[in-house]
Amino acid sequence: MTAVRLSGKRAIVTGAAGALGTVIAEHLAAEGARVAGLDLNAEGLDKNGALALAAPVDLTDFAAVQAAVGTVTDAWGGVDILVNGAGGGAVAFFHEMSYETWTTQVDRNLTTVFNVTRAALPSMLAQSHGRIVNIASVAAIAGGRLVRGATAYAAAKAGVVGLTKALAIEVAEQGVTVNCIAPGAQATPGRDRDTPERREALLGQIPTRLLGQPGDLAETIVFLASPAAVNITGVILPLDGGHSI
């Protein structure tokens, strides 16, 4: 039998109904973890066969998130791994951006990370063990070179980068690591809408000329959650084919 790296671990994945979250949940489960998925999209959660638990919830709602994470920690006695994957961008040019677009982007991409991490962290601190992996974006590091009109998204994801580093320091001595991956364009279904010209322009900005593969991204998260990554914390890891160099 092949050894698994996350045997007995209890994981929460946010955005588990989404393109990347589905694959992340599958890879964590394949390594022996029990996975709970949190997402707005109840139907998408139902379709994710890797989930042992699922809670449809708006992650921008602090009280609802406390309740959803509480359901998981009550059922399993705690949580070991948290992947903050919920989020998503919207193209809006700064000079005409509404206040609502700004706050929606910040809420979706940064406040969700606060809410879920705030709800899960006490359980990790109580057991002196935890692995938090946040998903930011190359936009947080390189601005909106892939997509013009990404200021709100880039700012919110840069907030995730700052939160990662500050929290990593705050909880480092208590057995909790906090890391962040910063993906470039991934080969998710949304990319199927690219015209050949758009795809060529995109690849022209990526030194490897490769889109990221969701399975590779998920394996990076498995590694950061595994025992081998015990001394890695506060890292912002671009998975972007060199786009942000």
Chain residues binding ligand NAD by CB under 6 A are 15, 17-21, 39-41, 44, 58-60, 85-89, 108, 112, 135, 137, 183, 185-186, 188
Output 124 or 141, the one with its CB closest to ligand NAD.
141
Contact 44, 59 (CB under 8 A): no
Output 33 or 181, the one with its CB closest to ligand NAD.
181
Output 28 or 129, the one with its CB closest to ligand NAD.
28
Lookup result for tokens 């406040």: 111
3-class state of residue 110 by DSSP: helix
Least CB distance to ligand NAD at residue 162 (A): 16
At 206, list the tokens: 């990526």
Contact 157, 213 (CB under 8 A): no
Catalytic residue among 73, 153, 233, 240: 153
Active site residue 99: no
Least CB distance to ligand NAD at residue 109 (A): 6
* E strand or H helix at 10: strand 10-14
- Answer positive or negative: Cα dihedral of 206, 208, 213, 214: negative
Backbone angles phi, psi at 212, to 5 degrees: -75, 145
User: Catalytic residue numbers?
Assistant: 153
